[in-house]
Amino acid sequence: MAAPDPINDDPAHARGREPLDTRNAVSGMLGRGGFYSIATVVQLSAGLVAIPVLTRVLSPAEYGTLTAALVAQAVLTHLAAFGMPPAISRSFFHRHGPEGARALICVTALLAVTVGLVALLSGPLWSRAFNDVPFGSELRLAAVSAVASGVLIAAQAVLQAEERVRSYMVGAVLATAGAQGLGVLWALLGGGGSGYLAGFTIGMYLALAYAWFSAGFAVAPLRGREAGPLARTAFRIGLPTIPHGLALYLLSAGDRVLVERFEGLAASGSYYIAYAVGSLGIFLAVALNGAWAPSLFAAAPEDRWSFLADSAVAILRVVSIVTAAFALAAPIALALFAPPEYELEGLADVSALVAVSAVPYLWYLTGTNIAVWRGRTRILAISTPISVVFNLVLCALLIPPFGLVGAAIATPAAYVLLGAITWARVRRMATIPWDSRALWLAALPALAGLVVALALPQDGAWLVLRGALAALAALAALAALTSARRPASEVATGG
């Protein structure tokens, strides 16, 4: 059993609880995680839904411009959120409680508007990062929509902490069906890439309105004696995560800038599609963490780290099997997502390599949750920039000889480095009773799936075999999730 946390490091309402039934706690977490996973994966991967339409409306060069705008939108979203989402999650379970967390949504909104204005005014400068993309309507809409996206994430952090699954899912659906639906409709009506982004922007503000209303509005904690401690704690935890969040996104998107420079704008668009398919594994890890982190933070001090150890195995097992399914099915997905002129042939290896990155990414998430709980997030501002530099250097070395696959090879390598650097620091913050053998066995399906995916041909009858293997992997993931959610008494009796 891990040593208990210092009593002053835990919220008052976590003390005096009954001893935790770890297996049932993991079951409940995965139950909520299943709903969060559906909503969050759909929200994060919403762009995938639009790809088959946009690639048939836009030329490869036009889609490359849109890709650049989406990269800018994601980077600005991280800046607009200003590191507040993790601070909100932690604040909810500490002395400031739910009202303090809701007040931080207001703080996020003020900061996000400021970031948006600065981005619009300085656009001609930062847009030079893209070779052939001027600061036009696409990049301006990216800045405007980022304001809504940043505040939306803050509001969703409150909904997750309160376990308001239905409200969270409705907001996620609005951000997906609303934003993507309006964007695609506008593009189909002749609006092109800028029309898609205009519809996307309107949809994001509608989603924000719903999520913020559901989470609740509070300003009282920003007026009284608790305002100072609330703000200081939030910024102490949140500020280091700004460079961390920016670097984390650049870790997943910076290679696209190098691909554009080495291979051209059209190749950058093709790489974006293949990368997006593989990213579903990482999205799943992020989605499950939406239920994992609040459950960890809410646990009693004497149970927290044993819960972390047990739940990590269960989550890794599900993520690993699903990752194998994504890697195997990548050629089928790519054939559906874009017409032949996008030259996606052979890029299934890119998707498979990106998909397996979910395993080291989950390792990194485990360390991040510990760092956030301990309030020591500065390590995140160090580990992610180092990993980004490593990724970009590796891309620059591998793209010339290996093309787009070379850029993809750098992705799992960079995530392994990210997990290693993060854990080198946070492992001193808690004593975790790991079951190393169980962890390795849980990770094995992802590694096996990658090997098989890289070995099998990507055309003809082999696609049928790939599809069958991917379906079996998906069923195995469902079985693993169902098994983890069975009550301990049923498992013990074979019920």
Tens of pLDDT, residues 116-152: 999 999 988 888 877 667 888 889 999 999 999 999 9
Q: Count CB neighbours of 472 within 10 A.
A: 14
Query: Given a cut of 50, is residue 188 above it in pLDDT?
Result: yes
Average pLDDT, integer, range 40-46 = 53
Query: Given a cut of 60, is residue 467 above it in pLDDT?
Result: yes
Residue predicted with more confidence, 406 or 280 = 406
Residue predicted with more confidence, 74 or 287 = 74
Query: Given a cut of 50, is residue 488 above it in pLDDT?
Result: no
pLDDT at position 15: 40
| Cα–Cα distance measured from residue 38 to residue 321, given in angstroms and rounded to the nearest whole number | 16
List the single range of 11-20, 93-102, 154-163, 173-182 with lowest mean pLDDT: 11-20
Taking all residues of the chain, what is their mean pLDDT, rounded to a whole number?
80
If you search the block for the tokens 């492992």, which residue do you land on? 427
Query: Given a cut of 70, is residue 328 above it in pLDDT?
Result: yes
pLDDT at position 147: 95
State what percent of residues in the chain have pLDDT above 90: 27
pLDDT bucket at 333, cuts 50 / 70 / 90: confident
Query: Given a cut of 50, is residue 37 above it in pLDDT?
Result: yes
pLDDT at position 307: 86
Q: Provide the greatest CA pair distance for the chain.
A: 69
State what percent of residues in the chain have pLDDT above 70: 84
Residues 90 and 237 sit within 8 Å (Cβ to Cβ) = yes
Residue predicted with more confidence, 97 or 435 = 435
3-state secondary structure labels for all residues of the chain:
CCCCCCHHHCCHHHCCCCCCCHHHHHHHHHHHHHHHHHHHHHHHCHHHHHHHHHHHHCCHHHHHHHHHHHHHHHHHHHHHHCCHHHHHHHHHCCCCHHHHHHHHHHHHHHHHHHHHHHHHHCHHHHHHHCCCCCCCHHHHHHHHHHHHHHHHHHHHHHHHHCCCHHHHHHHHHHHHHHHHHHHHHHHHHHHHHHHHHHHHHHHHHHHHHHHHHHHCCCCHHHCCCCHHHHHHHHHHHHCCHHHHHHHHHHHHHHHHHHHHHHHCHHHHHHHHHHHHHHCHHHHHHHHHHHHHHHHHHHCCCCCHHHHHHHHHHHHHHHHHHHHHHHHHHHHHHHHHHCCHHHCCCCCHHHHHHHHCCHHHHHHHHHHHHHHHHHCCHHHHHHHHHHHHHHHHHHHHHHHHHHCHHHHHHHHHHHHHHHHHHHHHHHCCCCCCCCCHHHHHHHHHHHHHHHHHHHHCCCCCCHHHHHHHHHHHHHHHHHHHHHHHHCCHHHHHHCC
Q: Count CB neighbours of 138 within 10 A.
A: 25
Average pLDDT, integer, range 269-277 = 84
Q: Which of 17, 3, 5 is nearest to 374 (CA)?
A: 5
Query: Given a cut of 50, is residue 52 above it in pLDDT?
Result: yes
Residues 221 and 91 sit within 8 Å (Cβ to Cβ) = no
Cα 222 from chain centre: 30
pLDDT at position 449: 93
Residues 225 and 169 sit within 8 Å (Cβ to Cβ) = no
Query: Given a cut of 90, is residue 291 above it in pLDDT?
Result: no
Residues 39 and 173 sit within 8 Å (Cβ to Cβ) = yes
Query: Given a cut of 60, is residue 266 above it in pLDDT?
Result: yes
pLDDT at position 2: 37
Residue predicted with more confidence, 26 or 285 = 285
Q: Which of 22, 487, 481, 310 is nearest to 495 (CA)?
A: 487
pLDDT in tens, 146-170: 999 999 988 988 887 777 777 877 8
pLDDT bucket at 484, cuts 50 / 70 / 90: low
List the single range of 267-271, 289-293, 349-353, 370-374 with lowest mean pLDDT: 289-293
Residue predicted with more confidence, 345 or 210 = 210
pLDDT in tens, 54-77: 878 887 777 778 888 888 888 898
pLDDT in tens, 368-385: 888 888 878 788 878 888
Query: Given a cut of 60, is residue 11 above it in pLDDT?
Result: no
pLDDT at position 163: 73
pLDDT in tens, 430-454: 888 988 899 999 999 999 999 999 9
| Cα–Cα distance measured from residue 368 to residue 90, given in angstroms and rounded to the nearest whole number | 12
Q: Which of 184, 471, 432 is nearest to 328 (CA)?
A: 471
pLDDT at position 260: 78
pLDDT bucket at 491, cuts 50 / 70 / 90: very low
Question: pTM here?
Answer: 0.69
Residue 373 carries which side chain, given as an amino acid letter? Answer: W
- φ/ψ region of 134 (left if φ > 0, alpha if ψ in -120 to 50, else beta) reads beta
pLDDT at position 39: 54
List the single range of 181-190, 198-207, 435-444, 472-481 with lowest mean pLDDT: 472-481
Record the tokens describing residue 248, joined without a space: 């984390």
| Cα–Cα distance measured from residue 89 to residue 362, given in angstroms and rounded to the nearest whole number | 19
Average pLDDT, integer, range 206-231 = 82
pLDDT at position 48: 64
pLDDT at position 35: 52
Average pLDDT, integer, range 220-238 = 75
pLDDT at position 27: 54
| Cα–Cα distance measured from residue 141 to residue 145, given in angstroms and rounded to the nearest whole number | 6
pLDDT at position 46: 56
pLDDT at position 202: 93
- φ/ψ region of 224 (left if φ > 0, alpha if ψ in -120 to 50, else beta) reads beta
pLDDT in tens, 387-436: 999 999 999 999 999 989 999 999 999 999 999 999 888 888 888 898 88
Record the tokens describing residue 400, joined without a space: 């010339």
Contacts of 224 (CB under 8 A, 6+ apart): none
Sign of CA dihedral 67, 69, 75, 80: negative
